Amino acid sequence: MTIKRTSQSMALTRRAMLKGGLAASALASFGAPAIVRAQGKEIVIGGPAGAAKYFNADIFPLMEKKIGAKILYEGTNSLTNLQKMQADKAAPKMSVVVMDDPVMIAAADQDLIEKMSPAAVPTMAKLAGTAVHRDGLWVNYQQPWAGIAFNSTRMKTPPTSWTDLWAAGNKGRIIVPSLNNTEGYWTLLVAAHLETGKPFKEAQYEIDAAFNKLKSLKPNLLNIYTNAPQAINLLEQGEATLIAGQFSAYTLIRKADGSPIDLAIPKEGGFAMPSGLAKVKSGPNPGLADATLEAFLSPEVQSVLAAKAFVAPVNPAATKPAGFPDSATLFAPDWAHFAKGRAGWIERWNRELL
């Protein structure tokens, strides 16, 4: 089967992804203006491309007033940010990084991030206990939820089960994230659950079963993406019907802007997305980095994040809009197991699905 791709090759191979990450690192080192300018009253934050819109429009203006400095945002994905940190370890360009927890684990193991000081980031002590990791090496600054994004014009009734991805009526209409994106794991986990009948907590360790089930999804695939905005565009245009493993912090923002898309949590359950925030070890402007971390966690910023980004706040003093799912009902996997196996799974994914 031939899987359609956009002109920018959304279904990148791992080799191409790594090459792109190295190219981005080289650009950062040899002349990217935002990086070069990051002196004095400017600070560079690396984070997900999908968050750029609400970060720049709603979050950073509020934070800049708090810290008294300009925020320069480098939007990409977690693995690319990790590669940049690895390449720039001797002279980091970023001061603060926003990455998914599995990649934070790798960054911590490689000594690329440093513990937050309780004195410099006092709000850290007020967060829910599950939001603080490894004694303050990183924190979760928000809690998006993941399910199935769907085109609400083509589908008047939301999808009710993860099995809808495999339905014969959806041939050539399904998009799934690559495992290069952390949200790609949800499709793998769902496949393991459906193949074995085991609950998510047990199915997450049944990787062979997951890949066996995923092979039967290939006739339904329109695309495998690494670039979330491009994938959402295909859903909005009606070329795709469903996107597996999409999350609230991106899908519901587009819905609020008028896009004909929505997000459903299937009957088998939804997932808690890991949104980590950390201080880059030996990064520039360490004082501004501390102030930025504190601003991210403040009730004011947390409340705006919840309302504008459709996420559950981690600061109990923040306001959470009505109708948000109870985070206790969302499954959070063994991220250490995911981080350990991910590289091999990506290679297998590219070999067996592309």
Residue 1 pLDDT > 90, yes or no?
A: no
Residues 6+ apart with CB under 8 A from 109: none
User: pLDDT over 90 for what percent of the chain?
Assistant: 73
- Dump pLDDT digits (tens) for 209-238: 999 999 999 999 999 998 888 999 999 999
Mean pLDDT to the nearest integer, 242-255: 93
- pLDDT on residue 171: 97
Mean pLDDT, residues 170-177 taken together:
97
- The reported pLDDT for the residue numbered 39 is 45
pLDDT at 312: 87
Pairing of strands 113-114, 312-313: unpaired
pLDDT at 110: 97
Handedness of CA 306, 307, 308, 311 (dihedral sign): positive
The sign one gets for the Cα dihedral 133, 63, 295, 116 is: positive
Q: How far apart are CA 274 and CA 332, in angstroms?
A: 8
- 13 versus 241: which is more confidently predicted? 241
Tell me what pLDDT residue 40 has.
Answer: 52
In this predicted structure, which of 20-24, 181-185, 205-209, 320-324 has the lowest mean pLDDT? 20-24
Query: CA distances (Å), 238 to each of 4, 11, 220, 302, 303, in order?
Result: 14, 19, 15, 33, 33
278: number of Cβ within 10 Å: 28
Tell me if the pTM is above 0.85.
Answer: no
- pLDDT tens for 35-81 read 334 345 999 999 998 889 889 999 999 999 999 999 999 998 888 99
In the DSSP assignment, the letter for residue 148 is E
Distance CA(61)–CA(342), nearest Å, equals: 36
Q: Does residue 11 have a pLDDT over 50?
A: no
In this predicted structure, what is the pLDDT of residue 30?
Answer: 33
